[in-house]
Chains A and B, each alone.
Chain A
Amino acid sequence: MDNNIIEVKNLVKKFNGFIAVDNISFFVKKAEICAFLGPNGAGKTTTIKILTTLLKPTTGVIKVNGYNVISQSDNVRKSFGIVFQDQSLDDELTAFENMEFHGVLYHLPKKEAREKIEMLLKYVDLWERRNDLVKHFSGGMKRRLEIARGLLHNPKVLFLDEPTLGLDPQTRNLIWDYLKKLNLKEKITIFFTTHYIEEAEKIAGRVFIIDHGKIISQGRPEELKKTTKSASLEETFLKLTGRSIREEKVNGIDRMRLRRKFRH
């Protein structure tokens, strides 16, 4: 179907026998805002990594903007922008340099890139700070810069993996305002994951609830609330996924991340 910007059929991802994503299928229509909700370790980030060509699926057919993520990965890469769960800016470069770097990686003509960078940095209110090193930015400013960067190459889809994690309510609202406006004006498809269920309830047209690598429920937030007789989407979420706390396997990189957090 031409109207689907993301199509996932029977996606399975195994890591050394451990099944992280267990045969899921879903689609996202053009210009939709969709949220992926699930407890820790449910397979959200793995799915996003597969959609963005960072990981290869074990089996399954995945298409983004009509292109296959394995056989047409460069076309897929041009089609999406991404804001990662943890920041991916170069701290020792300035905001402008980070943007410029991105423009070159995506082969944008220099003049076009400069104009677009100015436009986007103004849009996220960072133009005045363009020549400051990113290491002097606050968490919220970094996020805004990452969003601006993700939009620089005119993507059709914007993936955001927990974009508002660790931000104050003011910044969170600001960020969602940007994204909603963008979705309305530019018809960009937005696909995000979050642990703040109320954000998904407010912003997403459709949500997928994923647990143990499977999509256990999907639909518009109101529908899901109605079928589970819940007052809020968070209640729905807890009813569907249970109240037990999930343990995630911690690898070396997470340990390092933790240490870095403590140091700051």
Chain B
Amino acid sequence: MRSISRACTAAAAVLAMSLAATACGDDSGSGEGQAAGGKTTITFWDNNGGVRTPIYQELIKRFEQANPTIHVEYVGIPIASVQQKYDTAVAGGETPDVGGVTTSYLANLTGQGALEPADDWLAKSSLNGKLVENMLASVKQTTPDGKLYLVPATSNLDVVWYQKDKLDAAKVTAPKSWDEFFTAVDKLTKTPDQYGWTIRGGAGAIFQLLAEAYAYSGVNTFFDASGKSTVNDPKNVELVAKIAALYKKNTPEADVTNDFPKMVAQFTSGKVAMMHHNLGSYNDHVKAFGADKVDAFPLPVGLSGKRTVVANPVDGFAVFKNSKNKDAAWKFVDFLLSKESNSYWNQQTGQIPANTDAQGDSWLAERPYLKSAVETLGSPDTVVVSPPYYLPQFSSITKADTEPLFQKVLLGQMKPQEFLDTMAQKLTEAQEEWKKAHS
């Protein structure tokens, strides 16, 4: 009798779960663009779901109020898996209407014919002429046909974050040249309680290292006129050797495997005085120290005397070709890039708006590091070096192929010259292949 009762309970539980699973089925017809209650539904995939979710929820609320006939369904995709998610969706024909996309994987998506060019929409939009020109150019460079498949929303810049009180205590001011920088790192190191610097030795190390190397050397292109990579330029090698020499002397030993969460965690724990990252980690620092205790300066000016900046991947929005409601999708993109929305988004994330009107908002002036970043990017004296995001192998070369080699450099098992020569050779070969394919 007891066992029958247990079996009935189990069966009831399974039935209830089955009903719940069925109730949680796809009732939206994502991607089908059908009207629900007289409304057009569009799906939007956020390529950095989680942290930004509340920001988008607010913007979607505002958009739906302004456009009562359109319903936006938000889906947050974790950043670590966004490329795989897009690839699977493209292969399965279930792409969203609008998606957050960066130039890091834009070439991959356009290569699969997944995106709709936005040139015509932008030409007719009030946004025309309001978006930062070099960001638009950077997006167009990424694709072989030179079309605008991604509309930029935000600009980022590599900076050095520092704890104000630690620099004050050591009587150090924000360094302007690389010599001042290395002196400051030495002064700020008081092992084992405090390190002057932290090196990103794990995932994502190469981009940061290249940003430092080009800032130091002042080399202004990734490839010379003959198509040969410039990453093994003697001055770049010199900088890599100088950075590697800091390892363990002025940095924690664990840096060899540091990815950005670990690096940021080290900095926010208070043990590291200065850290190279970008504007995007602003909120973490404020949460850890308070807004008045932390500040940032751009990477120091190098040997050329000109500030040289390696362009970060451009982050923005793309309309997918499979969308059944492309006009509604563009309307949403247009709304997200409007002065108010773009300003709100960037204020919350601590980054630079792509909308030039939004760049004039007062909150930017209230944050000195951001004001300085805007000035740096906008200055005619700043040289912007664009990495070859258009190369399909760029991601694998700068991650899987060379990150372990940089770790060897830090551990003294490889010479900086050999490391950069290997990377340069791979980049040169990839560039040759790309040129052949698109000649």
- The answer to whether A and B assemble together is no
Q: Which residues of A contact B (CB under 8 A)?
A: none
Q: Which residues of B contact A (CB under 8 A)?
A: none
